[in-house]
Every structure is written in C-alpha cells, then in structure tokens.
Amino acid sequence: MAYQLAVFVENKPGRLARVTELLAEATINVRAVTIADARDFGLVKVIVDKPGEALDVLEQDGFTVKRQEVLAVGVEDEPGGLHTVLKTLADHGLNVKDAYGFIEESRCRAILILEVEDFQKALSTVEKAGIRSLEDELYQL
C-alpha cells in the first residue's frame, strides 16, 4: 500500500523548515509534497521513501502526523491522462477527496496521488481499467 504523511505545521517561519530538517537528518527522501494553508496552521502532505521512519521522527519532535493510505497511479504524460483516471473513478461512484501529482520524465509518465473515499474499491477499479497502480514502486521513484 502507498502512504502519505499529513503533518500539521504551525504557520510561522521555520516550522516547515524544521520538518524538512528532521527528514534530511534521518536520510529520508521527499518524493512529493503539497501544502495547504489554514490560517494559523498548514497541512503538509508528503510522500517520502520511508514513511514509517518519517512518522516516528516527526512525532518524536512533537509534530502531529497522520499516515494516510493513498492511491498512487502512473499514466502516460499526455493530454487526457488525468481525465482517464478521474472518469474511471467517477463512473464507478468513487469520489476523489484530494489529489496532486508529478512527472517522472525518464519514463514519460505522470504519477498521480489520490485520496479516495473507498481505497480498496478504487484500487480494484483502476486496475480493472488497465491503469497501473504504483503501491510498492512509489517509494523507489
């Protein structure tokens, strides 16, 4: 299974840098990150190569962290790639709560990270549609 960490970070100078400092010191590589502002706090969602270790390191430093199961898929880096995934999920009644992505240029593909309401159904649905899941491969990108 693929996991992202959701880290609650006080919205003030240096707090986000502390998160990255802790990860760097623990030789944990950040693969993808997204940040949402919520006034006094921010929500940092991060994909790292060692999610279990990252969770421990951040919690030991006092951060509130939640490990969340996510659907990670790879699609061709071309127009309509994202649409194919979203339409497949929508056609099966599956809602996407949050999403972000990045490009893996060496393979000419887009990597999509999706928070969905029913992970198992979403995983089964995309795999049946021929969309490649990256559950284990994600951490080695």
Q: Could you list the pLDDT tens digit for every one of the 141 residues in the chain? A: 789 999 999 999 999 999 999 999 999 999 999 999 888 899 999 999 999 999 999 999 999 999 999 999 999 889 999 999 999 999 999 999 999 998 887 778 899 999 998 999 999 999 999 998 997 787 777
pTM over 0.85: yes
Shortest CA distance to 3 belongs to which of 62, 58, 54?
54
**Cβ atoms of residues 125 and 94 within 8 Å:** yes
Q: Domains, the chain, ranges and CATH?
A: 2-68 (3.30.2130.10), 70-140 (3.30.70.260)
- A 10 A CB-CB count for 108 gives 10
d(CA 71, CA 13): 32
CA distance 57 to 54: 5
8 A C-beta contact, residue 23 and residue 54: yes
